[in-house]
Amino acid sequence: MTADLLPLWVLLSSLVASVAIFGLSERRVATRTAINLVAAVVKLALVAVMLWGVYQGARYEVRVAFVPGADLLLRSDPLSLLFISLSAVLWLATTIYAVGYLEGAPDRSRFFGFFSLCVASTMGIALAGNLLTFFLFYELLTLSTYPLVVHRGTAASLAAGDRYLAYTLLGGGLLLVGVAWLHATAGGLEFTVGGALPPPGDAAPSYVACFALLVAGLGVKAALVPLHGWLPVAMVAPAPVSALLHAVAVVKAGAFGIARVIYDVYGVRLADTLGLLRPLAAVAATTIVYGSLRALTQDDLKRRLASSTVSQLSYIVLGVATFGQIATVGGLVHLVHQGLMKIVMFFCAGNLADELELHRVSELDGVGRRMPLTMAAFTVAALGMIGLPPVAGFVTKWYLGAGALDAGAPWVVGVLLTSSLLNAAYFLPIVYRAWFGVRREAWPPPAGRLEVRPTLLGPTVVVAALALAAGVFAATELSPLRWVELIAAQEYGP
């Protein structure tokens, strides 16, 4: 295997797993689990090799002729590695979690087949080297998540699936028109550090219109208000789906795409000159506050988390839409930080549902005594979301705030403060109830020695530790923060 083909191998590792799992009969549990785990570990190893190569300046590229003006292009650059590393690590964690969570459930071949297909799509989105390839995998992600949303086959999940499709296909349509229009205006566009578009000249209005279409299309998955309506509803899906896809892969695909469009298609300077960033930042700020306000009133735990996701995602958008290197760092690094913290919370929600059938915030009084490790992990993630040091979320908010001041946008600090207060207002009650709430009757005792099955508890605790580590060791050479600083320095140029 030659190193140049690494992006293809990364893609194929989950694609092959997906096809193999679809072919398995429902009863072959051990084989299926083995394929899942081997594929996840192989991918992680491949990504590690690629990460090391890219760190040392190598670029891997796979190109296949496709249509006039655009190839199918997979390419690894620092930004794609940021997304890929996150997804590969969290895929392994979520696979272990899902194997445990779905023990004994029906239709697992179908579930894990589509699950792997989703991961393959996410890899494709991260590695896409031009807008057309990006679009291809973006739509594939929509299609492969649908069966996971409707997995349970209940009326509620089918209704959620319908809404999910309506939103995401609409977004896909807008994105397609934007991509095609930009192609017609400026030719085939490969992602280029610093921007790929030629100077606009007469085409400036087309550039602006295309940007609006692209961002609207991507904004559906990134859950920008008012395009966010699918996300809370999609929470009917099983917990691992909510965790990996609706906290990380799907929504990140949108946010990542917006970053790609701003930095590697338009170029942040051109985007700023055309006046594209400020309106987007305003939408992001609105979404941050709106999502948090919605989260306050949700009693269903997963729905509260979903509303919080709506809000947190826009930190990324806000950061990348603020013209200034420090704010960019804050936005991009949240891509990783939010992923780590939010997936922990969804794992915890899954643990509570699986072990004690708890779904509502109001039922959580005193649950910390029954499930201390789960709730400790939740507490770490919640404190991080609020932005308290030393959890990863603090680093994000620090860079966003400092970056906004640096970029001459002090109002952003106001948004951050408001949002942090709201974060505290909807997360702290959960933490308080868990540790200090009083429950009259005794909890049902655990079946084994642990508070919940090890396949569920392990990933929860490990990823929570990662979220903590990303904050504590933010200043070291191998932290996400350092990696993002490298990306931002390149995008803004010398």
Partner 1 sequence: MTEPAWVAGVVVIPLVGALIAVLAGRRAAPIAVVTAVGAAVAAAALVRQIARDGVVEHAVGGWAAPLGIALRADGLSALFVAAVAVVGTAAIVYALAHPGTPHRFHAAWLLGWAGLAALAVSADAFNLYVALELLTLAGATLVALASEAAALRAALRYILLALAGSLAYLFGVVLLYAAHATLELSALGAAVTPGPVTAVAIAAMVAGLALKSALFPLHGWLPPAYAGAPAASAVVLAGLLGKASFLVLVRLWFEVVPPSLRPDAGLLLGVLGAAGALWGAVLALRQTRLRRLLAYSSVGQLGYLFLVFPLGTGPALAGAVYLVLAHAAAKAALFMAAGSIERACGSDELGALRGLAPRMPLTFLTIGLAGLTLMGLPPSGGFVAKWLLLGASLETGQWWWAIVLVVGGFLAAAYVFRVLRLAFLPAAGAAAIARAPRGAELPALALALVSLGLGLAAAPPLALLGAGP
Instruction: Return residues touching partner 1 (CB under 8 A).
Output: 64-72, 107, 132, 135-136, 139-140, 143, 146-147, 150-151, 153, 157-158, 161-162, 165, 169-170, 172-173, 176-177, 180-181, 183-184
Work out how close the CB of 89 gets to partner 1 at its nearest, in angstroms, rounded to a whole number: 27
Contact 155, 149 (CB under 8 A): no
In the numeric block, which tokens belong to residue 290? 């709106």
Q: How far is the CB of 56 from partner 1 (least distance, A)?
A: 32
Burial grade of 348 (CB within 10 A; 0-12, 13-18, 19 or more): buried
CB of 177 to partner 1, least distance (A): 6
CA 482 vs CA 141, 329, 341, 403: distances in Å: 29, 9, 19, 16
Beta-carbon contacts of residue 448 (< 8 Å; ≥ 6 apart): 454
Q: Among the residues of 26-154, which ranges form H helices?
A: 29-55, 78-101, 108-127, 131-149
Token pair for 60: 């891997």
Contact assessment for residue 128 and residue 490, using Cβ atoms and an 8 Å cutoff? no
Residue 150 C-beta: closest distance to partner 1, Å? 5
Supply the minimum distance, in Å, between the C-beta of residue 237 and partner 1: 12
- To partner 1, the closest distance from the beta carbon of 442 in angstroms equals 37
Q: How far is Cα 430 from Cα 424, in angstroms, rounded to an integer?
A: 10
Minimum distance from residue 144 beta carbon to partner 1 (Å): 11
Cβ proximity to partner 1: between 63 and 482 the closer is 63
Q: Quick one: 58 or 166, whose CB is closer to partner 1?
A: 166
CB-nearer residue toward partner 1: 48 or 64: 64
Give the C-alpha separation, 381 to 388, whole Å: 10
**Among candidate residues 289, 292, 285, the one with its CA nearest the CA of residue 322:** 285
d(CA 259, CA 403): 16
CA of residue 35 relative to chain centroid, distance = 24
> Min. distance of Cβ 324 from partner 1 in angstroms?
34
Minimum CB distance to partner 1 smaller for 165 or for 333: 165
The position carrying tokens 């279409």 is 213
Q: Which residue has the tokens 């979404």?
A: 287
Residue 22 vs 443, nearer CB to partner 1: 22
State the helix-helix crossing angle for 454-472 and 392-406, rounded to 10 degrees.
Answer: 40
User: Mapping DSSP to helix (H, G, I), strand (E, B) and coil, where does residue 249 land?
Assistant: helix
Q: Which strand (E) or helix (H) includes residue 64?
A: strand 61-67
Q: How far is the CB of 249 from partner 1 (least distance, A)?
A: 18
Other Cβ atoms less than 10 A from the Cβ of 219: the count is 29
d(CA 338, CA 315): 9
Three-state SS at 186: helix
Q: Give the gyration radius of the chain's Cα atoms.
A: 21
In the bound complex, what is the minimum distance in angstroms from residue 223's beta carbon to partner 1?
A: 20
